[in-house]
Structure 1
Amino acid sequence: MTQSQVPVAESGQWSGLGHLERDLVLTDEDFSRIRQLIYQRAGIVLAEHKREMVYSRLAKRLRHHGMTRFSDYLEKLARQPDAREWEAFTNALTTNLTAFFREMHHFPLLAEHVAKANGPVRVWSAAASTGEEPYSIAMTLHEALGARAREARVVATDIDTEALARARAGVYPVEQVRKLDENRVRRFFQKGRGQHEGLARVRPEVSELVEFLPMNLLAPQWPLKGPFDAIFCRNVMIYFDKQTQARILERFAPLLKPDGLLFAGHSENFSYISKVFRLRGQTVYTLADRAGSRK
């Protein structure tokens, strides 16, 4: 790499990655535009310290198009507001950190709640990522409902279409599945053989309960209807500002049954954001005005 190819701190260019050489040029103006675009597109608030993450994740898109300057890539997006590249841009900047039965204490509460439900049970996983959460919900419904689970449904949505494609496949490394209870592994997974050695697939009786839909929580219209017995929206609100969080919570309320549960992430607190929900227990909420929610 020649000296002329290394981003330098001149003309607004950024050299904030220490002494590491970078072959792509990311300026302060470029980073500011990226932060603005992902906020407008997905409501995600990118902090200043996320510059290296932005560089590494979007670098693949620039190289795919044979570009060396982020400004050229952003101009391409601006010229094509309806291009598929916007999907790739959003996917690249979406964080997908998940695991089966993550925040374990939520699932016994869900099981207890749905066991008392009348009629078919419906649960929404609003940030489904690569599928571990909605499949964990589906397994819980099987355990709690028995034969009634066949009538239950889990709607799983996410803005990241690549993550949803992996979720639909329902195939995971065996190492990830081995962390589960042995009885659950035997009951809910098929072990891969031959060319699929080292992989495990969710059994059909689990996957058939789950419907995956691409969805942006900021979209003016959502492609689903309530009511739901529970909504899981965990570890996604932390990427939104308080105004966006409050707006989403307001939209959740009419989609929940009057006694429905809203599950939040361990680092999220909705009590000071909206009066629509009240805290029931550890990161679990119910509608504050149950009577008013009956519409």
Structure 2
Amino acid sequence: MGGVLSRHIEGAVEAGQWGSGSQIERDLILTDADFTRIRELIYQRAGIVLAEHKREMVYSRLAKRLRHHGLTRFSDYLSRLERQPDAKEWEAFTNALTTNLTAFFREAHHFPLLADHIREKRDPVRIWCAAASTGEEPYSIAMTLLETLGSRAAQARVIATDIDTDALNKARAGVYPQEQVRKLDDVRVKRFFQKGTGRHDGLARIRPEVSSLVEFLPLNLLAPQWAIKGSFDAIFCRNIMIYFDKETQSKILRRFAPLMKPDGILFAGHSENFSYISDAFKLRGQTVYNLAKK
């Protein structure tokens, strides 16, 4: 889903038409009815709300799945999905329609707040990153744990979940382009990354002392049961709620509350505001929340 969620869903057009009738060539047939079905299915499956204008990328992403199966009509692909509710293809369908925009230490003001919150903790620190994407966010959390807790960080854990299994596989590998890593300061780069050489030139890998703190798990925030247990010192749920409607956001926030320690912190994305969605949390600062007192 934290985070949902470098690809943006941009929408697809009905084959041969766009807008008021201008013609473009399409080798696959996507009707308005097909697009409506896609919007319904991804909402039911993952809670993602696809706006009407998000059509071009839907065509682009799912066209790859149709070609993989030798199909030419989206209606045939969708019918096949609906006939097989437990098919592996549902995973590919969902992966194609999730967004994975992320970076190391994105929304940097959150990490000093996290450090201050955990610095004096004596019990093992547990943090949930609920939209892990390709791993940059949970690894940033793990680096903060190491910098703040020193040797005590070995007992800490970051549970990193996402609905996108392709993104999670990249996250587990922990390998990133060096130009992405160079955006960090030199001290962090030297301490937390291994520079690739030979056929790995131009790449950097997360060091084991960082990756050992993070456990990656597939998880759908809409699932009736979550395969994780509290209690967490902090939950990062950043830039994923914007893809859900208000009712879904409220349900998820209510489920977060009992998984947090009484002084736990919830970190939201820069464009998210939970104050008017749930009374379970109160605003503490810029996109940072505490549990509301009962």
Q: Could you tell me the TM-score, scaled by structure 1's length?
A: 0.93
CA contact (8 A) 1:230 1:263 kept: yes
Q: 1:82: how far off? A: 0.6
Matches within 5 A, 1:201-216: 201-216=205-220
Residue from 36, 43, 47 that aligns with 1:43: 47
Q: 1:198: how far off? A: 0.4
Q: Counterpart in 1 of 2:15?
A: 7
Between 181-190 and 15-24, the greater mean CA deviation after superposition: 15-24
Q: Counterpart in 2 of 1:3?
A: none
C-alpha distance 18-263 of structure 1, shift in aligned 2 (>3 A): farther
Q: Secondary structure at the match of 1:99?
A: coil
Would you say 1:78 and 2:82 are equivalent positions? Answer: yes
Once residues 171 and 178 of structure 1 are traced to their aligned partners in structure 2, the CA distance between those partners, rounded to angstroms, is: 13
CA contact (8 A) 1:100 1:136 kept: yes
CA contact (8 A) 1:215 1:222 kept: yes
Q: Report % sequence identity.
A: 77
Once residues 7 and 240 of structure 1 are traced to their aligned partners in structure 2, the CA distance between those partners, rounded to angstroms, is: 28
CA contact (8 A) 1:17 1:52 kept: no
C-alpha distance 20-151 of structure 1, shift in aligned 2 (>3 A): same
Once residues 17 and 120 of structure 1 are traced to their aligned partners in structure 2, the CA distance between those partners, rounded to angstroms, is: 61
Residue from 231, 235, 257 that aligns with 1:253: 257
Q: Counterpart in 1 of 2:191?
A: 187
Superposed CA RMSD in Å reads 1.3
CA contact (8 A) 2:127 2:235 kept: yes
Q: Secondary structure at the match of 1:25?
A: coil
Residue from 239, 246, 261 that aligns with 1:242: 246
Residue from 113, 117, 121 that aligns with 1:113: 117
Q: 1:118: how far off? A: 2.5
Once residues 16 and 246 of structure 1 are traced to their aligned partners in structure 2, the CA distance between those partners, rounded to angstroms, is: 37
Once residues 208 and 126 of structure 2 are traced to their aligned partners in structure 1, the CA distance between those partners, rounded to angstroms, is: 18
Q: State the one-letter code of the partner of 2:194.
A: Q
Q: Counterpart in 2 of 1:126?
A: 130
Once residues 192 and 17 of structure 1 are traced to their aligned partners in structure 2, the CA distance between those partners, rounded to angstroms, is: 51
Residue from 145, 149, 167 that aligns with 2:149: 145
Deviations 1:19-43 (A, max 9, x none): 4311111100000000000000000
CA contact (8 A) 1:235 1:267 kept: yes
Q: Secondary structure at the match of 1:68?
A: coil
Once residues 116 and 252 of structure 1 are traced to their aligned partners in structure 2, the CA distance between those partners, rounded to angstroms, is: 24
CA contact (8 A) 2:16 2:25 kept: no
Q: State the one-letter code of the partner of 1:48.
A: E
Q: Counterpart in 2 of 1:221?
A: 225
Residue from 26, 33, 42 that aligns with 2:37: 33
Matches within 5 A, 1:97-112: 97-112=101-116
Q: 1:267: how far off? A: 0.1
Q: Secondary structure at the match of 2:284?
A: strand
Once residues 101 and 21 of structure 2 are traced to their aligned partners in structure 1, the CA distance between those partners, rounded to angstroms, is: 24
Would you say 1:269 and 2:273 are equivalent positions? Answer: yes
Q: 1:18: how far off? A: 4.8
C-alpha distance 213-18 of structure 1, shift in aligned 2 (>3 A): farther
Q: 1:79: how far off? A: 1.3
Q: How many residues align?
A: 281
